[in-house]
Amino acid sequence: MVRFPGSQMQHQSKKMPIKIVVLLIIPFFSTLAYAQMHDAIARRAKFEYKAAIHLKPDLEHGRQIYQTCMVCHGAEGWGSRNGMYPQIAGQLKSVIIKQLDDIQTGNRGNPMMVPFTQPDILPNAQAIADVAGYISQLPMTPFNGKGHSMDLKRGEQLYKDNCVDCHGKRGEGSEKDHIPLIQGQHYNYLYRQFRWIQIGRRRNADDDMIKQIQKFHGSDIDDIMDYVSRIKPPAAKLARPDWINPDFPYYVHDIMPARQVDVELPEERNYKMNGNRVQNPDDE
């Protein structure tokens, strides 16, 4: 039988499109599967949030659970000034509940904390509400980590133009819409979260915020975040500089540099004491 040199080629060229189709289908379906899996995780986190948000916190039970969190967030909930651990003291209760549910279900990637959100520590919605209630009433640090921006005025303007609608005039957030309080948070933590939200690494982020912040780079982010880290929380939320959480009298409080005595506090002279709290001159 005579074979024409082209016949084999022809036969092969018929198979090629199938390979290409298969090659195209695999990423298509895996992207779809990933999107569906992510949707399912987000739905589960939302379900858990709804279960916890209306429960009345039992603060004593919250305090007991908080003992497992102290090793990283500190007895005062002030985290670390270098921003590795966020300050969670004074964060809004709804935000803490949402973040715990997101971390527990995998909707927010936070490998370090996942083990501490598992059922042996946070067995149910009530436990989440309890620990969130406890943390949200702790007073905030006057020693949070700041940035080194050269242009805080610009940071203020960028904040006013781009963030106020959601995070509020002074970065106080919104309990109702579980938008985080960001005033007085450690600069490095703010910066890191902002970048992770911008590039999609923090999966639970708000879609509108992601769109809104795409235009910001380097010094824009420095300026905004330094400004935000310097917004003083209101007096009712601020601890006096030497405050130690009386709920944990035997804890070694200064194991991490959350409290730094050599820090410059030029405004301190204007501070007035109001019971256990510091009266913030900005609030008058």
For ligand HEC, which is the closer residue by CB, 189 or 271? 189
Per CB under 6 A, the list member of 45, 52, 53, 96 interacting with ligand HEC is 96
- CA Rg value for the chain: 25
* Residue 121 in contact with ligand HEC, rule: CB under 6 A: yes
Q: Could you identify the residue written with the tokens 């074979």?
A: 3
x/- binding map, residues 122-141, to ligand HEC, per CB under 6 A?
Answer: ---------x----------
Cβ count within 10 A of residue 142? 23
Work out the angle between the directed axes of helices 59-66 and 125-136 (0-180°, nearest 10). 90
Q: Which is nearer to ligand HEC, 163 or 271 (CB)?
A: 163
The total number of residues shown for the chain amounts to 284
- Please state, in angstroms and rounded to a whole number, the distance separating the CA atoms of residues 36 and 33: 5
| Two structure tokens written together for 177 | 């819409």
88 is a site residue for ligand HEC (CB under 6 A): yes
Interface with ligand HEC, residue 41, by CB under 6 A = no
Query: What is the helix (H) or strand (E) element at residue 39, kind and residue range?
Result: helix 5-53
Of 49, 78, 116, 243, which one interacts with ligand HEC (CB under 6 A)?
116
112 binds ligand HEC (CB under 6 A): yes
98 binds ligand HEC (CB under 6 A): yes
182 binds ligand HEC (CB under 6 A): yes
Cβ of 222: how many Cβ atoms within 10 Å? 21
**Per-residue 3-state assignment (H helix, E strand, C coil) for 222-241:** HHHHHHHHCCCCCHHHEECC
Under rule CB under 6 A, residue 166 binds ligand HEC: yes
Alpha helices in 137-281 (DSSP H): 152-162, 164-167, 187-199, 207-213, 218-229
Q: Which of 106, 142, 147, 180 binds ligand HEC (CB under 6 A)?
A: 180
Cβ neighbors of 124 (< 8 A, separation 6 or more) are none
Among 141, 193, 198, 229, the residue binding ligand HEC under the rule CB under 6 A is 193
Q: Is 75 in the site for ligand HEC (CB under 6 A)?
A: no
Q: Is 279 in the site for ligand HEC (CB under 6 A)?
A: no
Q: Which tokens is 120 given?
A: 């042996």
Interacting residues with ligand HEC (CB under 6 A): 65, 68-69, 71-73, 85-86, 88, 91, 96, 98-100, 110, 112-113, 116, 121, 131, 162-163, 165-167, 179-180, 182, 190, 192-194, 197, 204-206, 208-209, 212-213, 224, 228
